Structure 1
Amino acid sequence: MEAFHPLIQILLLGDLVNEAFDELEKLFQISDTALQLKAALVEHFDGVDYVKLSTCFEDIMRKDPTCNDSLVRLVFMHQHGYYDTEKLTEMIALHLDAIYAKCDVWKELASCFLNLCQCAEDRMSACYNGKDGRNQIHLDHSNQIPEIFTNRESRKTWRLRCRWWLNRHFSHSILVSDIASGDLELLTYKAAAASHLYGREFKFVVKAIECSEKENNVELSSFFLQRHILNSVGFYYNAEINN
């Protein structure tokens, strides 16, 4: 309570929560900590309003994309069905633009990609042709690509990001370093995410498979990684080929 501005404290003591929110809005232009204070305030007094709460954490992430605590909160809300997969994907990507993350962040990103691909596949159009007395289903496979990669604005952002990440997260030197570290989970989860962006033939993905098989880790290689590879669309690879 002492962390809040005196006027905000008075408003809270008077149970004037909405008015306290308004005062915090005014502080946004003055203090960088106002975003975190607002998130704490919303979480304490209006924690069931997940839209408002997630917006607070998104604002913090945009201000400071290295903020792991805010990302953890968004992941938690997503896991409980209170936060959109596409939005979480964007927040994780923003986080990875700013830091070199541990394996749990890459695992979450890969899972988001898989979820988006499966949702896109569920929306695949099917047209029925009664020729020769039989119904034939024609599937538009382009619809398997998640909307986050087809929307005009986000597509441009992701193409630039993928090009940058080739050096930032998936360069040969980083691959060698990840393998040398012996952290098979990090290597596998990064490769799973990479397969959705660059395709199954991407060197980072191929090497991760080799390492998993060498270590005879069936759970990581046969179950987790292969599941992602089989459902990946290789957005950046296909975008460059078709450009």
Structure 2
Amino acid sequence: MMKIDILTLFPQMFSGVLGESILKKASEKQIVKYNLVNFRDYADNKHGTVDDYPYGGGAGMVLKPQPIFDAVTDLKEKSHSTNPKVILLCPQGERYTQRKAEQLACEDHLIFICGHYEGYDERIRQYLVTDEISIGDYVLTGGELAAMVVIDSVVRLIPKVLGNNESHVNDSFSTRLLEHPHYTRPAEFRGMKVPETLLSGNHRLIDDWREKESLRRTFLRRPDLLKELELTDKQKKWLQEFEKQ
């Protein structure tokens, strides 16, 4: 079972996300255990203060190291994992990718730290955190929404979470390409038809069509991804064809 601890000042924000759909089912199947921790409970002062003014002046407040260090230390002592990943959600972190999600899905204990205010005391980054993650080049009011995104993308990759273990194999980015187009019934809708290949029943042709359209979509929408891909001879020919069109 994977354990996911979430350090946050607003645990109520997670109730809808963790209590519905696939994330809820993963918990019910005892594949994942979620633990919401309000790190204000670890503050060493009677007012429960977790932030303070930054040294050197400036706008905003900075999260103090003590409550977060004590919370993570306590969670580690209660864990059966010898080396849990401690993940800080922040704009300065590594840009999140499907590859990173696949790596985290192999862990047995993740600890997420969701910050608020102006930022974190730098000692949290230097001496406590193992991974810093950013879900994009923009700033949110806190790390909660980013943590929800990462947790959702990781949990769905854990074996037996999805009804079909093959469901995520051809997702966008799992193959390092964007996913191919999908169609369902009816075969014709308002004059718009499903490609004949998908109706042929020939699985070899269908697989080729999907691979080609996946490559085409990546070429048109995210050509930067192709730089990281070792193309087959067949894919190189398709790319030449796209470039001529």
TM-score, normalised with respect to structure 1: 0.22
Structure with greater proportional strand content:
2
Structure with greater proportional helix content:
1
